Structure 1
Amino acid sequence: MLDLATLTTDTLLSARLTDVVETLVARDRATFRSRLASLDMRFTDARVEALREAHGVLPPGEFREWEALRQALQGNEEPESHWCSEDRSLRLDIPLHVPDDPQALAELLPSYSAGLIAGLFLLSEDASGDRILLSLLPGPGDTLIIFPFIHERSTLHPARTLKRFLLTEWLSEDEPDPDEAPGQVGESRYEELLDVAREHDERLPAFTPGSPESLIAADSERLYQRSHWLTGILWGRPGPRLTEQLARAPGAADWKLERPWLSRQPLLANYWVLAHYFLGNEDACRTVITAAHQSPAALTRGIARLVEGWLNAPGQARLAKLDATTLANLRRVVRGSARADQQISN
């Protein structure tokens, strides 16, 4: 447990997520500690393995700790088991089951598009619709990182660690009160602790990609920014900024670079199979499908089968509520908004 009155950057660097959660989030600390101590970590390890099998990624080491904390808080079953930060929810929504039915799989694509193309999944949401997205990709010092997502502009704010998010979101400028949430520290201490949290993130060792492949495939922010145009398309809503968004999307040079990596990089395969489909690049799309059939990620293999079915029987293609006619219209709109170098033969 942390002492907020004396907390320093050095102390926070040595602290675990558990310390922050116990100090600020858990309502009944004794019950929380008891639940945490009694957890069967085989269940947690099974969830990590299910995530690896479904998505083909091994999350940072801190993910295992967060899964245990989530269980100990039991936020879904007992809403009063943890203090709330104003109206903010606290959960982590990651699909771990790959439906056998193609239409059931198609239903996942719009809702989880940021996860399938950038490794970003919903952790928290407030009443305004603004969200916190957690990345399953490597963070500094093997930590979990989050991105605030502003829904009105569909933009990501800069990354921060999950530890910093939990500390700062559960703090308050209100004066301390023994009957209220422990994060009430008063205005001056609140500002000091924001600086402590910021310095914590600045002092962590940066993640260093080992190759050009990991430079691209392990960067959630970069993947999201270049793939953002797909999120509206999967809902059937191209939007007035489609041409602008496609201007930031990959082209022929990126395709040539990333094509050899597709069988081992699920997020890249997910992007390219959907992008080529909507861009009308059928031969290139089938190239991705062949590679994606060998993917370590069950979801990627499922998406490849789904898109292959759309290509083989275009009149029967369906994506959630979007029928074959709507999909054909979307493909025309996308191709008409794309750059010349995004229209690829193979």
Structure 2
Amino acid sequence: MQVSCAFPTALSSPDDIALAEQLGYDRAWVYDTPQQSPDVWMTLALAAERTERIGIGPGVLVPSLRHPMVNAAATATLAALAPGRTAVSFGTGFTGRRAMGYRAITWAFMESYIRVFRDLLRGEVVEWEGARMQMLHPDGHAPARPVEVPVLIGALGPKGERVARELGDGLFATLQVPDFLSEYTWVPFLAWGTVLDDDEPQDTEHARVAGGPGWALAYHGAYEFSGADAVRTLPGGDEWLSVVEESPQDERHLAVHSGHCVELGEADRAAWDAGGSAMLRDVTVSGTRAEVRRRIDDLGAQGVTEIVFQPCGPDTRSELERFLDAARG
């Protein structure tokens, strides 16, 4: 089991990735969330300059945010800056689209996009939006084609699994463990949470700021995928909804995703204070060192090959150290 980390792209991310390398993490992924983050490719370029060993890449790219030529050129650039360390992953867009009021892209679009993206990196002439194009970079402007970079695909259902099987080098998973996980040899699993002291309750301030942003995804995901009735079944769900529903319908997604993966938004704080903290261990990889280690072992038994931990809260170093200690046993 590799132990990697992820960051909701921030101005501090290049230094955070350098710290992760120093501590011994295998890879660092950063998010493609322009509505709340700096540019993912600029961030990765800076991280490449500050590191030597750690693997780096976007996890996950959302195809609709950029032309495939733009992502292909950026991938080639990062491969030149961090040779042998670059990987990319694609997803249909949870934070990267829903936080802007869009639905996820279709798997038909995803399949077409990734085929063109991979063909561009091979140096082939492709057709996109009715036009023929090719990477024309002269020497010194990009690595010579083909540019060999692994591509992982985030998929949960049968449509995504087919695309991942045909076009991917691995499966990027989060929130759920799909049945087909064990069919892949490279499976990063993105997880949130925090390592608690042996006698630490799960509603402490440390638990809230370090584990809370990942815990809040239970409410965000339930609302986006299953609607308000699903949220009401969660502890503190009524309180969470009462805050979200104060916003106009066409701006409600802004209230849902405020602070997403970084800090608790107003609705999240209302749910936490109403007893929602009781399910911290259920919806995140949180608990004592021994409990976290068991959760990681369980994921490994299901086919996960790389646990990807996103630290939260004001003390990134401490969260990274505590999780790595638990994961490595």
Calculate the TM-score normalised by the size of structure 2: 0.25
TM-score (structure 1 length as normaliser): 0.24
Pick the structure with more helix per residue.
Answer: 1
Question: Which structure has the greater CA radius of gyration?
Answer: 1
Higher strand residue share: 2
